[in-house]
Amino acid sequence: MTPCAVTTGFFTLGKCGQMAVAGCPACGRAVCADHLADGGLCPECAAARNRFGHPAAAAAARRRTYRQRQSQYYGDTVYYSGFDDYDRAAFEPGAAADQDYLDDGDDALVDS
């Protein structure tokens, strides 16, 4: 197995070490699936070309994968959606919603 050679960590740095799936076409370093950036580049070469990924993107993707896996495992359809009480509070009937919207209980979220 070729380990991923991308440097990771915030305070204590180290090599990622996961199984590499590609080589960066610019610098030749081995890169794993998690660190593969746009155009198959490693994160540093991608950054050098101004292709910065949003810092939250990777976390969001991991969160998504986790929830999807759990959702399937537990057979819970909406496990994925992950809304909490704070999210729900804004959708209570008394939560400053357009009152006329509530009158005839029309639930359509979108109209063509």
Partner 1 sequence: MHRAAYLAFDRFPSAKGSAVHIRHMAAELFDRYGGGLLCVLGGGELPAYQREGGVEIVRFTDVVPNLLDRAEAFSRWAADRLAPHRDTLEICHVRDPWGALPALSTGARLVYEANGLPSVELPYHWPLAAPSTLSKIRELEEHCLQESDAVVVPSRVILKAVTDRGAGPDRVHLVPNGADPVPADVPRPPTAPGRYVIYVGALQPWQGVDVLLRAFARLADLTDLTLVVCSSVSPARARPLRRLAERLGVRIQWEHQIPHADVAAWLAHAELSVAPLTAGPRNLDQGCSPIKVWESMAAGTAVVASDLPVIREVLGDHGRLVPPDRPAELARAIRVLLEYPDACRDLGERARRHVEDGFTWKHARARLADVYDRVEAH
Residues in contact with partner 1 by the rule CB under 8 A: 60, 64, 68, 71-72, 75, 77-78, 80-83, 86-93, 95-98, 100-101, 103-112
Q: Are 19 and 3 in contact (CB under 8 A)?
A: yes
Cβ proximity to partner 1: between 10 and 74 the closer is 74
CB of 99 to partner 1, least distance (A): 9
* Structure-token match 């990622």, residue found: 16
What's the angle, vertex CA 69, arms to CA 76 and CA 79, rounded to 5? 30
Cβ proximity to partner 1: between 50 and 111 the closer is 111
Q: Which residues are CB-neighbours of 97 under 8 A, at least 6 positions away?
A: 91
Cβ proximity to partner 1: between 52 and 101 the closer is 101
CB of 52 to partner 1, least distance (A): 17
- Cα distance between residue 31 and residue 90, in whole Å: 43
CB of 16 to partner 1, least distance (A): 24
